[in-house]
Amino acid sequence: MLDTSFEILSNREIAKNTWEMTLRGDTRGVAPGQFVNLKLPGFYLRRPISVCDFDAGSLTLIYKVVGHGTEAMAALPAGETLDVLTGLGNGYDTGPSGPRPLLIGGGVGVPPLYALAKALLREGKAPSVILGFNSADEVFYREEFRALGLEPAVTTADGSLGRKGFVTAAMDVPYTYFYTCGPEPMLRAVYAKSVTSGQFSLEERMGCGFGACMGCTCKTKTSHKRICKDGPVLTKEELAW
């Protein structure tokens, strides 16, 4: 965990209610599948947002406007400085991926898979990608994945773009392992349909975001885990589903 400050470089809507914020600051210790915790002016608790992309000096976050906090976040102009805790959570482990991992993202569960795809490609692996959304106007980052040389399979619940249905409709590809992030009903469907082991990135309301308050604990098969500290990534074997 690092307590640092980031300057907003850009903050724009990239799909319906979905915003991309790029920031400049110290990204040491940031890893795919981790999150950062932002202090927003006027709000008491921080906002945990998963890491979409990063390089040596910049960070990209994608968030959905769902309440007053994210509304205020969307109104922040470039040039503003934010107090940010970085390096939070365990992140994805690329070790067990095998040569052909499958990445399955739903809605604002897509962003952490982008940094993961880049990391897997750097390791010489050949990921397949499934991106699920409700409708065409919510689709984002299809082009960014293409720019990495990947061709994501897109599903929309209403059929307005790509294959009609949920991400599970596109899971009929060969894969050696999987990584997924998205709403819990989607994760449960992926859990049920998957034929290999895999890693799930989970979400819960958090107090501190660094393991102190026990505000986000969930039950696993063998123990209690703090989503913020022992997660947000849990393995298929740990989940008590």
Residues near other proteins (CB under 8 A) are 1, 3, 39, 43-46, 69, 83, 85, 204-208, 210-219, 224, 229
> Residue 62 or 202: which CB sits closer to other proteins?
202
- Whose Cβ is closer to other proteins: residue 83's or residue 137's? 83
- In which element (H, E) is residue 118 found? helix 111-122
Cβ distance to other proteins smaller for residue 102 or 227: 227
What phi and psi values does residue 80 have, to the nearest 5 degrees?
A: -70, 145
Tokens 């300057």 correspond to 7
The distance of closest approach from Cβ of residue 136 to other proteins in the complex, given in angstroms and rounded to an integer, is 24
What's the closest the beta carbon of residue 216 comes to other proteins, in angstroms?
Answer: 7
Of the two residues 146 and 224, which places its CB atom closer to other proteins in the complex?
224
CB atoms within 10 A of CB 14: 12
For CA atoms 169, 170, 176, 182, the dihedral sign is: negative
Nearest distance in Å: CB 203, other proteins: 10
> CA separation (Å) from 107 to 32, 87, 164?
17, 23, 15
Task: Provide, rounded to whole angstroms, the least separation between the CB of residue 14 and other proteins.
Answer: 24
